[in-house]
Amino acid sequence: MHSLGGRARSSPVTQRSSIAVPRECNDASGVRPIIKLDLFLPSVQLPTPKNQIHSEESPSIPRPSGSSHWFLDFSKTPATSNGSVFHTGRMDFPPGPPARPIVGNILEVPSSGAWNLYTKLKPQYGDLVYFHGLGSKILVLNSLKAIHDLLDKRGNNYSHRPIFTTLGELMHVDQSMPLLPYGKEWREHRKLAYIALSPSAVKKYHSVQSDISALMNRDFLERPDDFFSHVRLTSGRILLTVTYGLSVDAADNEYITHAEETMELITRGSVPGAFLCDLLPFLKWLPSWTSFQKEVAQGRAMVEHLVTKPFEHVKREMAEGTAAPSLTQDLLRLEPEPSSEFEYRVRWTTGAVYGAGGESTYATVLTFILAMALHPEFQNRAQAEIDRVVGTERMPVVSHRADLPYVAAVIKETMRWHPVVPLAIARRTAEDDVYEGYFIPKGTIVVPNTEVVTLEPNDKYDPHAFLPDRFLDPTQDVVDPAVYAFGYGRRVCPGKALAENSVFLLITGLLTAFDIAPPAEGGLEARFGASLVSYPEPFKCAFCPRSEAKAELVRRRAAQCKV
């Protein structure tokens, strides 16, 4: 996998820096030359940031005047069993696997499922693992402490995204909040998202979410073997209804399938270096008839369609006075006569909610189903709690969340057992930095490893086992998944409250109505995909109504739905 780095300029060093540029080094074999990679290897031009970092936690580190060269002295990077420590004169880069000249150790990074490698490297290298080579620099944050110290405490420097030439610049995804460059425009989009999705704002959608959950339970009752499709439809239904007031009744609805296809493209392209053009940006000037430019044009059209078609539908119905309630309508009404700039921001903000919002719900519910089929003893305890608190003749609603601690523990353990986004979307450093005595160069791609956070060693509870009780044990200090499941720092997902309510209603609805069991033929295993959003691989299980009374409750509640 390739990543992105900053382009070095070729002007000479004219002034001494507070961090020494490495000198040639004598060893037993004599003087060894310094290899200046940036003279030969292409990389991406990074914008000059407006803000400098001046604090004790994130010091401003002046570079040599007139130059941005940083040299890798391979006489100081022995390929030993303990890996390599890369030097910048007096200060080391963070540790990482053994490096080779020119290519460094960047080729060690897999193109998918990289969290497995990063987690395995923690015992050897600790909280920071550094990869470099071919013009790229990647720093893996391998602990919650490192993630918190850098992404939360030093947000000015660590809230930027990598520069995705293909996905961002050419396909226009950098106009959408998740990849929008950190700055004023990003803050304007973020402000709109928080207005629409704050915990108080999403209360108006509780009844809609409950209705859609009831329809999913009916689908499970009537066609239990199609449960993957039912969860997929339900996740899309919630987002389309809440965001645009659109009603859909099939998983192959055009709005759902187009969103999935577009998000598959975006997910694949959000890995730094996924397209060769990210490493060789001059390729963006290839003629329009080349296969690359045709792929770019198709991707750009898909993205524009995703954010524009449902938005224009809402505008049209608002003009006709027939628009259903939606957060798009609420945002457009913030300005009686919205400017084109304001409409542009609303269009891209709501498009981000629609495009990305359903994937985490879909993956979390499927992971829960898999866990319950493998561990029926935990669903029995959760069902008993629901029956006791909610009763046996109605479905749980959002207001029951605070009264169901064991159910909450099951949901938290589902999110911890296999996080749906094992690696948070990468960041990029805007300036040089120093952390724990290590030098982190400007333009470094920073990858928070959520997987390793969920596997924190515990003497009492096996981190690899599904054990909800870990969250109820007062003797244990277990990290709440809410801390890591929705991102970090200033780029935490603004739809957190809406997503948590959806997951609660869908999971408690299934627990209320059904017993989830492994397939009769056996052989059920926990297997997950290796993409950015990690879903369970296709599996079979059985859904049996807990009683005829529960089956009737499902039918009756579905008949009351207004969506």
Overall CATH class of domain 1-175+422-468 = alpha beta
pLDDT at residue 312, rounded to an integer = 97
H or E stretch at 294: helix 291-320
As a whole number of angstroms, the distance between CA 358 and CA 246 comes to: 15
Q: Cα separation of 423 and 309, whole Å?
A: 31
Q: How far apart are CA 138 and CA 447, in angstroms?
A: 7
User: Can you give the pLDDT at residue 25?
Assistant: 36
User: How many angstroms separate the CA atoms of 163 and 180, rounded?
Assistant: 10
pLDDT digits (tens, 9 = 90+) for 435-461: 999 999 999 999 999 999 999 998 899
Residue 42 has a pLDDT of 33
| The listed CATH number (3.40.50.720, 1.10.630.10, 3.20.20.70, 1.10.10.10) that belongs to domain 185-421+485-559 | 1.10.630.10
Residue 85 has a pLDDT of 60
Element containing residue 129 per DSSP (H, E): strand 128-133
**Distance from C-alpha of 63 to C-alpha of 407, rounded to nearest angstrom:** 53
**Amino acid 134: pLDDT:** 85
**What distances in angstroms separate CA 341 from CA 177, 183, 184, 252, 332, one per listed residue?**
15, 16, 14, 33, 12
Would you state the pLDDT for residue 91?
Answer: 83
The separation between CA 166 and the C-alpha centre of its own chain, rounded to angstroms, equals: 19
Cβ of 464: how many Cβ atoms within 10 Å?
10
Q: Do domains 1-175+422-468 and 185-421+485-559 have the same CATH topology?
A: no
Are 379 and 516 within 8 A, CB to CB?
Answer: yes
Quote the longest CA-to-CA distance of the chain. Answer: 85
Q: Is 277 annotated as a binding residue?
A: no
Residue ranges, the chain, pLDDT below 70 = 1-90
Using CA atoms, how far residue 495 sits from 354, 419, 500, in Å, is 11, 17, 9
pLDDT at position 87: 57
Residue spans per domain, the chain: 1-175+422-468, 185-421+485-559
C-alpha radius of gyration, the chain, whole number: 25
- CA-CA-CA-CA torsion for 231, 235, 237, 243, nearest 10 degrees? 180
Q: What is the pLDDT of residue 429?
A: 98
pLDDT of residue 273: 72
Task: Let me know if 87 is exposed, middle or buried by CB neighbors in 10 A (0-12, 13-18, 19+).
Answer: buried
What residues contact 264, with CB distance under 8 A and at least 6 apart? none
Quote the pLDDT of residue 439. Answer: 97
* pLDDT at 264 (0 to 100): 87
